[in-house]
Amino acid sequence: MKKGFVFDLDGVITDTAKFHYLAWKDLADEIGIEIDLKFNEQLKGISRMDSLERILAYGNKSDAFTTEQKEALAEKKNTHYVELLQDLTPDDLLPGVQEFLNDAKAQNVPCAIASASKNAPFILEKLGVQDAFDAIVDPATLTKGKPDPEIFVRAAEAINITPAEAVGFEDAQAGLDGIKAAGMYAVGVYSGEELHGADLIVHHLTDISVAELLQK
């Protein structure tokens, strides 16, 4: 029996994964590195600085910038990304999310956010669902990023359940690996790329119910 839900944000609650891609692609272009959607899969779930490092390594430019320059590049990407978020509204919740969260609340099932994004609180507010979550793990307090299970273990702790009592939702392979390594039941939210190791794959949260998942 499961007792709580742990959600990734980008690509699970809302389609902000596309804005991250746009902002990273623009920045990469500017420094002469061409990235595509296939490469972008490797960035999903990965923190801002780690994403930048992966892009630089991909373009053989790992040593081309100082730490200060890298920080400025990451900041530039974020400024662009935050601009792209300005028009987000509750209509941008992915199909079934609002209903699923309402249902969880009605049944007193705690929900947490486990996202590497430092913009998570801002996005949840824009979407009008900040009150649906009992906890948001602060990614700045983590020692390791996804696929390490740390963020998922911390999310379960924050809602007072064990990882074995949690169902985790992810659209990225690194996240799914983290959920499984934490010992949770893993729901993969399919976004066009193959996902491995999920206990269940759905296209949208409309495909499953709170009651059904609590039985897992």
Q: Can you give the binding site for ligand GL1, defined by CB under 6 A? A: 10, 20, 43-48, 51, 78, 115-119
- For residues 178 and 6, give the distance between their C-alpha atoms in angstroms, rounded to a whole number: 12
10 is catalytic: yes
Q: Which does 171 bind (CB under 5 to 8 A by kind): Mg ion, ligand GL1, none?
A: Mg ion
- Is 134 an interacting residue with respect to Mg ion (CB under 5 A)? no
- Is 150 an interacting residue with respect to Mg ion (CB under 5 A)? no
Please tell me whether residue 165 adopts helix, strand or coil conformation: helix
- Minimum Å gap between C-beta 215 and ligand GL1 is 29
- Residues 172-211 interacting with Mg ion (rule: CB under 5 A): 172
- Mask of contacts with Mg ion, 2-41, x by CB under 5 A? ------x-xx------------------------------
Helix axes 173-182, 150-158, angle to 10 degrees: 60
Q: Which does 46 bind (CB under 5 to 8 A by kind): Mg ion, ligand GL1, none?
A: ligand GL1
8 is catalytic: yes
3-state secondary structure 19-77: HHHHHHHHHHHHCCCCCCHHHHHHHCCCCHHHHHHHHHHHCCCCCCCCHHHHHHHHHHH
* Residues in Cβ contact with 96 at an 8 Å cutoff, skipping those fewer than 6 apart: 204, 205, 206, 207
Residues of this chain that interact with Mg ion (CB under 5 A) are: 8, 10-11, 171-172
